[in-house]
Amino acid sequence: MKSSELKAILEATDVAALPEVIKTYRGEETKTIQNLLDKYQKVYDKYEAELLRLKLMRSYEDKYPEEFYIGGVDEAGRGPYAGPVVAACVILPRDCDILYLNDSKKLSEARREELYDVIMEKAISVGVGIVGNEVIDDVNILQADYIAIREAISKLSVKPDVLLNDALIIPGVEIPQVSIVHGDAKSVSIAAASVIAKVTRDRLMYMYDELYPEYGFAKNKGYGTRDHEQAITEHGICPIHRKSFLSKFGV
Does position 178 have pLDDT exceeding 80, yes or no?
Answer: yes
DSSP SS3 for 114 = helix
Q: Which CATH superfamily is domain 61-197 in?
A: Ribonuclease H-like superfamily/Ribonuclease H (3.30.420.10)
174-193 average pLDDT score: 96
pLDDT in tens, 62-115: 999 999 999 999 999 999 999 999 999 999 999 889 999 999 999 999 999 999
What's the whole-number average pLDDT of the chain? 95
Nearest one of 95, 236, 110, 126 to 192, comparing CA atoms: 126
Could you state, in order of their start, the residue ranges of all structural domains in the chain?
3-56, 61-197, 209-249
Which residues make beta-bridge pairs with 35? none
- pLDDT tens sequence across 122-170: 999 999 999 999 999 999 999 999 999 999 999 999 999 999 999 999 9
3-state secondary structure of 160: coil
pLDDT of residue 251: 84
d(CA 34, CA 25): 9
pLDDT of residue 27: 78
Compute the chain's Rg from CA coordinates.
23
Angstrom distance (rounded) from CA 226 to CA 242: 17
Per the CB < 8 A criterion, the answer to whether 149 and 87 are in contact is yes
* Whole-structure pTM value: 0.91
- Residue 204, pLDDT > 90, answer yes
- CB-side neighbour CA atoms (13 Å) of 1: 18
Torsion 244-198-174-158 (CA) sign = positive
Contact 220, 133 (CB under 8 A): no
For residue 135, which of 85, 75, 76 has the smallest C-alpha distance?
Answer: 85
Query: For residues 193 and 85, what is the distance between their CA atoms, to the nearest angstrom?
Result: 14
222-245 average pLDDT score: 97
| Alpha-carbon span 62 to 78, nearest angstrom | 30
Q: Decide if pLDDT at 26 tops 90.
A: no
pLDDT at 28: 67
User: Among 51, 46, 152, which residue's Cα sits nearest to residue 101?
Assistant: 51
pLDDT at 3: 87
